[in-house]
Amino acid sequence: MTRSRHNVILVAVLVLAVAFTAVGCGKLKVSRLRANYHFTEGNKLFNDGKFRDAITEYEKAVKFNPNLGNAYRFLGESYKNLYKVGSETAENKEKAALALDALNKAYEVAPENKDIIFSLGDMYDKLRRFEEAEKLYLRILELEPGNMENYYVVAEFYKKYVGERPELKEKAESMYLRRIETDPENIQGYAYLANYYDQITPIPDFDKALEYHKKRLELQPESAELWYTIGVNRFQKAYRMQNFLALPERKKLGDDAESALLKAIEIDSTYPEPYAYMKILYINVHARLYPERADRYQIEADRYGDKFTDIRSRQLERMKLERELKKAIS
């Protein structure tokens, strides 16, 4: 074969190769465009709460582009929204399985996507599959160790299981503390931990919660909301633990609650909640601790109750007027 004929054949092969490549690229481009179209349509339906219809669109999207991780993610989210926690019907179990399948595929496509990891962890959490959920939530911490909110998410996850798995109490505490360590000047970290101790079941750790409420107070000493929160904390311990506390301690708790609530009122006399708790405190704690003064405490309780009702009514009326004004302007 002559060199010229060889070159002609080679050129012909190259032309055919380019032609087939162009066709292949064209088909790929069209498929991706179709995938994006169905993904967009699915998102519209998802945002409207039409999850069954969204599922149809997302399934078409991943059919045209199997690497579209977010389509798998929202396919899983759609099934998750249709899933009813606690229901043991075959149909409901199938929805759970389909949600997990889609979310796991999304995770395979994008293993470092925090939103996908969280969504998959959340689904395992709904199914009470603790180990799988924990592994994923901890993965988020590995990916974003400097993000404070991630520690809160993991802490809240552990918190849900503390009642049935007491050993997780320390894990939850450590996550709240790590959040504080990432930004010790951020008041929200102390608030999360204090709230955790206030809500531990079956018996809250009121004194530990108070410790962190006071740390918040160091950063915002003139916060009416914080003084109110401390007053509620002291009231709750006096009231809920009344059968386990000596009389002197109950009296001190009642006095501390009253002092904190009055401080909140002093700072902001238009803040309604402290008035409501003053009424509750006088009826449920003070009147029982000092039965000889019960009538006086009832009168004071009514006075604070009326004050609460008055301030709350004015607040609601103002909010109503603001809504009407916004509506008129728009």
* DSSP classification of residue 285: I
Mind listing the pLDDT tens digit for each residue in 144-159?
988 888 999 999 999 9
Average pLDDT score over residue span 32-40: 89
Q: Which residue has the higher pLDDT, 205 or 8?
A: 205
Q: What's the rounded Cα separation, in Å, for the pair 151 and 100?
A: 24
Helices of type H across the chain:
3-47, 51-64, 69-82, 90-109, 114-126, 130-143, 148-161, 168-182, 187-199, 206-219, 224-240, 247-267, 273-281, 287-289, 294-329
Q: What is the mean pLDDT of residues 256-265?
A: 97
Identify the pLDDT of residue 149.
Answer: 87
**pLDDT beyond 50 at 13:** no
Which range, of 8-12, 107-111, 163-167, 251-255, averages the lowest pLDDT? 8-12
pLDDT at site 325 = 83
Is the overall model pTM greater than 0.95, yes or no?
no
Task: Using the predicted structure, report yes or no on whether residue 217 has a pLDDT greater than 60.
Answer: yes
Q: Which tokens hold the place of 71? A: 């389509």
Confidence of residue 193 (pLDDT cuts 50, 70, 90): very high
CB under 8 Å to 246, separation ≥6 — which residues? Answer: none
Query: Confidence class of residue 321 from pLDDT cuts 50, 70 and 90?
Result: confident
**What average pLDDT does the segment 65-91 reach?**
92
Closest Cα to residue 253, out of 286, 226, 275? 286
Taking the C-alpha atoms of residue 202 and residue 87, their distance in angstroms, rounded to an integer, is 26
Q: What are the angstrom distances between the C-alpha of 113 and each of 3, 67, 151, 266, 286?
A: 55, 14, 17, 49, 55
Question: Distance (Å, rounded) from C-alpha 179 to C-alpha 117?
Answer: 20
pLDDT at 28: 56
Give the pLDDT confidence score for residue 183 in this predicted structure: 86
Q: Output the average pLDDT for the chain.
A: 88
pLDDT above 90 covers a percentage of the chain that reads 70
Average pLDDT over residues 60-75: 91
Q: How would residue 9 be classed by pLDDT, with cut points 50, 70 and 90?
A: very low
CB atoms within 10 A of CB 32: 15
Q: How confident is the model at residue 27 (pLDDT cuts 50, 70, 90)?
A: low
- Give the Cα separation of 254 and 177 in Å (integer): 30
Q: What is the pLDDT, as a whole number, of residue 244?
A: 93
